[in-house]
Amino acid sequence: MKIGLYGINIGACVDPAVAIRVACAAEEAGFDSVWTAEHVVLPDPQVPPSPAPPGLPLLDPATALAHLAGQTKTLLLATGIIILPQRNPLVLAKELATVDVLSRGRLVFGLGAGYLIPEFEALGIPFTERGARTDEYIDAILALWTQEKPSYDGRFVSFRGVRAEPRPVQKPHPPLVVGGESAGACRRAVSRGHGWYGFNLDLPATRTCLESLARARAEVARPDALGELEISVTPPPGSPSRDLFREYEDLGVHRLILLPPFGGPDTIVDAVRRAAEVVL
């Protein structure tokens, strides 16, 4: 079982010195990865299903991970997740390739279609098109990263006669992790992703999502080149135990991405070290 740390760009970690301290503590403790959150904007006032109050400090994922790239050596730097249909795919491809280059090949590209209607409305992106945009934007980004002469002709994005250098260090490209619990997200993970990510899932909810992924496997083909679908889950907040990790592992989870308690840097670092002592 691998262990990751969620929220390296939120709360106390918006302070650059705190983010470095927390990431280095996680790396030293044996965590394999740190993961960012993303919302470009949050509804004010907070309304369901918004996950956080509008005053929550939250840094841009790629910028935050680039800051950590030169301060860590082995940690995977993961976006968990980027709301892909809200982004310009060419600009995002450049930002993420930059992170992969600066980290010498440690980027994990976590993506999702999003679910907050007020956020889409504020950005001027039609909510009902988010799935189709997500699929096109994946194709467009991979074209820029992998094609000798990149080109793409889609409904939402088209280009040719351009290049974006440098390309990611990882070949053919950084791993894609698809987040989300919908049937569409599960099919996308099976057909396009190296991994799948579920957030704030207890054991029964995790079991339900894994059953959805199994149904998706029966509906869509999975390319052999993608290998086994790696399952990552953030459990609900709380102190992890060895038994809890074993129960998730028995379900088929490969990585638990822990959500540390909100508080100052000492609180977060202590939680990281306690988790490592219990599990690793």
Domains in the chain, start-ordered, CATH in brackets? Answer: 2-279 (3.20.20.30)
pLDDT digits (tens, 9 = 90+) for 56-105: 999 999 999 999 999 999 999 999 999 999 999 999 999 999 999 999 99
Averaged pLDDT, 168-177? 98
> Under a CB-based contact definition with an 8 Å cutoff, are residues 106 and 28 in contact?
no
Site of tokens 């860590």: 72
Averaged pLDDT, 249-275? 95
Instruction: Give the span between the Cα atoms of 236 and 261, in whole angstroms.
Output: 11
Q: Which amino acid is at 51?
A: P
> Under a CB-based contact definition with an 8 Å cutoff, are residues 36 and 64 in contact?
yes
pLDDT digits (tens, 9 = 90+) for 120-171: 999 999 999 999 999 999 999 999 999 999 999 999 999 999 999 999 999 9
239 falls in which pLDDT band (50, 70, 90)? confident
Percentages (nearest 5) of helix, strand, coil residues in the chain: 45, 15, 40
Note the pLDDT of residue 238.
87
Q: Which amino acid is at 213?
A: L
> Under a CB-based contact definition with an 8 Å cutoff, are residues 258 and 3 in contact?
yes
| C-alpha to C-alpha distances, 176 to 11, 118, 138, 190, 231, nearest whole angstrom | 26, 26, 9, 11, 12
